[in-house]
Amino acid sequence: MAAATDEFGGLDLIVNAAGIMPLAPVLDADVATWRRAVDTNLLGLMLVTHAALPHLIEAAPADIVNISSIGGRETFPGAAAYHATKFGVLGFSESLRKELTTTGVRVSVVEPGYTETELFTSIGDRERQQALEDVMATQQNLTGADVAAAILHIVSRPPHVVVNAVQVRPTVQA
């Protein structure tokens, strides 16, 4: 992290956007996949944040934007591990936001709905993957640009304003 900040002159924004979506009923789940989901969706985000935090505090005002999911607030059967990691992102983010209130570092969460990304390739269960792809094929989904616009909205607020969370989803998504 220090080498990157030296090369680019500092760090005033991180966007944590990695994720996988293992889907399976709890009874049938491969727990190794759960570990991978926790490591990717939650622990990875926490470790990047931990490494970046001293640089962000030094550069303040600065922003941390964590990408969660509508699945961090709403659930459906067969996705318990995914939902657990995304609920975890919300909990970590809100606690961190409160820790950093006097530092000039804002912490926000973006919670996208159906988005055209490679996330669905990580599902693991071909039948569930196909079902989600079928739903998405019938509607206009979010694009990466739509999610980026939500991030831009957050980070362009005046330094005294923090947007805690933004839910963004396709108009047709219930």
CA angle (148, 117, 72) in 5-degree steps: 75
pTM score, whole prediction: 0.90
Correct CATH for 2-168 of 3.20.20.70, 3.40.50.720, 3.40.309.10, 3.40.640.10: 3.40.50.720
In this structure, what DSSP letter does residue 114 have?
S
Pairing mode, strands 62-67 and 165-168: unpaired
Exactly one of 82, 93, 106, 115 is catalytic; name it: 82
Q: Is 114 a catalytic residue?
A: no
Each residue's pLDDT expressed in tens, for the chain with a length of 174 residues: 777 677 778 899 999 998 998 888 899 999 999 999 999 999 999 999 999 999 999 999 999 999 999 999 999 888 899 999 999 999 999 999 999 999 999 999 999 987 777 766 666 667 777 777 777 678 788 899 999 999 999 999 999 999 999 999 999 887
CA dist 77 and 168 (Å) reads: 22
Domain boundaries, the chain: 2-168
Token representation of residue 103: 């530092």
How many C-beta neighbours within 10 Å does residue 168 have?
Answer: 17
Largest Cα–Cα separation, the chain? 50
The answer to whether 108 and 66 have CB atoms below 8 angstroms apart is yes
Position 126 scores a pLDDT of 75
The answer to whether 87 and 111 have CB atoms below 8 angstroms apart is no
Pairing mode, strands 13-16 and 165-168: unpaired
User: CA 128: distance to chain centroid?
Assistant: 22
